[in-house]
Amino acid sequence: MVYRVIGLMSGSSLDGLDIAYVQLTEIGGKWSYEIKAADCYGYDAVWKQKLRSAIDLSAREYQVLHVDYGHFLGSQVNRFINELGLQYQVQLIASHGHTTFHNPGKRMTAQLGDGAAIAAETGIPVISDLRSMDIALGGQGAPVVPIGEKCLFPGYAYFLNIGGIANITHKQNENFIAFDICPANSVLNQLAGELGKEFDTCGVMASSGKINEPLLKKLNEQNYYKLSYPKSLSNSFGKDIIYPIVKAAGCSPIDALRTYVEHINHQIENAIQSLMGANENIQTGGDHQQMLVTGGGGFNLFLIEQLKSRLSKSGIEVVVPEENLVKYKEAIVMALMGVLRWREENNVMASVTGARRSSIGGAIWMGANP
C-alpha cells in the first residue's frame, strides 16, 4: 500500500511549523518512506507570543486559541499545497499540534491545534490528538516518535532527537525504550536571544565560553535526572525551572551557553549509561553501535563534536544524516502515526510510555464529504 501524507510538527523551541509531504509504502509489513517535499514556516512574533503564553490563559481563552491555531495550521497546509502544486494529491494530514500542558501524573496532556478546524480549512482527512489515548491508559504519552524509528529506520541501536527537549530511544532486541532526557534548544535559544540571536549558529558562541562548574553541578542535581524511565518532560520544566537556575548563576550568556551544552551532553551520556546498565561511566569496548541524531541540535556542530568525543569510548558512532531528515524526522513520523491510525493499527508503544498496553492514538476528522 502507498500513502501520500502531510505530517505537521510544532516543537517547544518555537522555531516554526514543520511540514513534510511524505510517500509511505508498506509491503509485507515492512515500511519505507520518501520525502516528496518539506518546509518550515517560521512563526511571526505574534504567534510566538500566543503559543508561549498559552498556559497562562483562562479556559475560555485557551479554547479560542486552540480553534484559531487549528485554522492557522489548515491555512499553512493550504499554502504549502498551493506553493508546490499538490492539489488532489494529499490523502491525509497528521498533526501533532503544539504541546502546552503535559502532566501524565494527572492523566492529561494538551496540544493546541483543533483537528476539526484543520479539516474544515483543507477539506482533507485529519488525524490529531495523538497522545491522549496513551495518557488515558496510564502512559507518559511521550515519546511517541519511537514507532516511526521502529518502522522506518532499521539498523540503529540508538536514536537521539535534540529539539526543544532532548529525548532518546534505544532498541533492545525487538523492544524499544525511550524517554525525555533534558531541556535542550528551548534553553539554548533563550540564552542566544539575550545576545540578539534566534539561536547559536553551529554552537560558535558556546564554543568560546567557559564552563561554570557550580552552575553545571546545580543543573545536574535536578530530581528529574534521578528518575528511572519511563518518564517525560513538559515544556515548563525548561522555562520555569532550568532557565531561572541558569540566570541566577549570574554568568555571562556566552559562559551560560557553554555550560548548558556541557549539561546537555552530560545528561545524554547519563541516559546512555542507564540504558546500558552501567553504574558509573560508560563501559569501554563492546559492539560498535550507531546512534542517529536529528532535530535542530544536529546542526550545533560544537555540541555534536563534544558528544562524539564523550561517546567514542563506548563504541557508539554518532550519525548526523542528510539535512531534510535532521529537520523533519518528527514530521515524517507524525505522517506514519496518522497512517497507522487510519489503518487501525497500534501507533504508540507501551514499552516506551509505560502504559497498560500499546494503543491506537488519534482522533479522525473527515474533511470534505467523499
Tell me what pLDDT residue 235 has: 87
Over residues 275-307, the pLDDT tens digits come to: 987 334 444 445 679 999 999 999 999 999 999
Tell me what pLDDT residue 282 has: 42
The C-alpha cell of 189 is what?
A: 535559544
Tell me what pLDDT residue 369 has: 66
Q: Does the structure show a pLDDT above 90 at 166?
A: yes
| 370: confidence class by pLDDT, cuts 50, 70, 90 | low
Domain ranges of the chain: 2-141+329-365, 149-324
Tell me what pLDDT residue 314 has: 85
What average pLDDT score do residues 59-66 get?
A: 98
Tell me what pLDDT residue 173 has: 77
The C-alpha cell of 120 is what?
A: 474544515
Tell me what pLDDT residue 281 has: 42
When computed from its CA atoms, the radius of gyration of the chain, rounded to whole angstroms, is 20
Question: 3-class SS at 16?
Answer: coil
Over residues 85-122, the pLDDT tens digits come to: 999 999 999 999 999 999 999 999 999 999 999 999 99
CATH, domain 2-141+329-365, list 3.30.590.10, 3.30.420.40, 3.40.640.10, 3.30.2320.50 = 3.30.420.40
In angstroms, the CA 363 to CA 345 distance is: 13
Tell me what pLDDT residue 279 has: 33
Question: 3-class SS at 88?
Answer: coil
- CA nearest 352: which of 142, 37, 54? 142
> What pTM was estimated for this model as a whole?
0.92
In angstroms, the CA 50 to CA 53 distance is: 5
Over residues 39-54, the pLDDT tens digits come to: 999 999 999 999 999 9
Return the CATH class of domain 149-324.
alpha beta
- 266 vs 58, 221, 270, 272, 285, CA distance in Å? 38, 12, 6, 10, 20
User: Do 2-141+329-365 and 149-324 agree at the fold level?
Assistant: yes
